[in-house]
Chain A
């Protein structure tokens, strides 16, 4: 992370539809799909699904919400290349529990197993080389 603002020129590219199946981790499975498809950077345009349990980073703390059947009610984020050029997902959002109460934060890597399904639409982000 730099200590000054970064403006990256680029444009939105192709759309893709995707689905993750039960017990796959939301964050790392999305990264794997992107790597297999040759997607280095992308923006999440829509996402609906459910989790077995939810594990969030919230500020300097962590929150766990026990399911199963937690509805993912909002899901936003992006895929961006890490230092090695591999697609890395940063996903934030919220889930509702069985009473409808909403809990949110940044989804922790490797800790958010899909319950029934995740259906989503991604859009490539195509950065333009700096002049």
Chain B
């Protein structure tokens, strides 16, 4: 497709690596509804709940809940040029906060340990809506706990590796090549 005037592309620090998009089929999968109680940490709680069930890979939608507190980061331009964008923050908000939505992917870090990448939106008591990249261990849940739905690939998934194009360690795909 020809880029429109509105599609601003940015020069990444490394070479543009082909292919520009990847897709892998999963095998048989599981669907789960997850309930975390008050006091659990949003990210650590999701990881523990899934790992305890032997699940290493999952995609989740946050359906709702409360946060007693939250720590999150956002993104901003990296003035050093090392990366196109770099984390900004972290910012902290005291609750009570209401979780409006969000999404999370459970995969593995470089060593094979579980890693959750979670972005979420929440509202404070004044109705101000904020969001960003959540920090593990720093997002205790409030009275309503948290509900999420999970789709868990039976094979394949995500594992972190250093990415030469962006200079970030990011999730890369596991599993067999796309098979139409």
Contacts and interface: CB of A to CB of B under 8 A. Distances in A.
Interface of A: 14-25, 28-30, 32-34, 36-38, 45-48, 50, 52-53, 55, 64, 67-76, 94, 96-102, 108, 110-113, 115-117, 119-123
Interface of B: 1, 3-4, 6-10, 12, 16-17, 20-26, 29, 57-61, 72, 74-77, 83-86, 88-89, 91, 100-105, 117-121, 129-133, 151, 153, 156-158, 163, 165-166, 168, 170-175, 178-180
28 contacts: A15-B26, A15-B59, A16-B25, A17-B24, A17-B174, A20-B21, A22-B12, A22-B165, A25-B7, A33-B21, A33-B22, A37-B180, A38-B180, A46-B59, A47-B59, A64-B6, A69-B76, A69-B77, A71-B132, A73-B103, A73-B120, A94-B131, A96-B74, A99-B74, A115-B84, A116-B83, A117-B163, A119-B170
Task: Classify the secondary structure of B's interface with A.
Answer: strand
Contacts, number: 216
Given A68-B85, A71-B75, A14 B29 contact: yes
B105 A119 contact: yes
Given A17-B153, A38-B180, A117-B170, A48 B75 contact: no
Given A48-B119, A68-B10, A14 B26 contact: yes
Nearest to A110: B4
Given A71-B131, A110-B1, A113-B9, A47 B20 contact: no
Given A21-B16, A22-B16, A100 B74 contact: yes
Nearest to B123: A102
Contact of B74 (A14, A21, A69, A74): A69
Contact of A72 (B12, B77, B119): B119
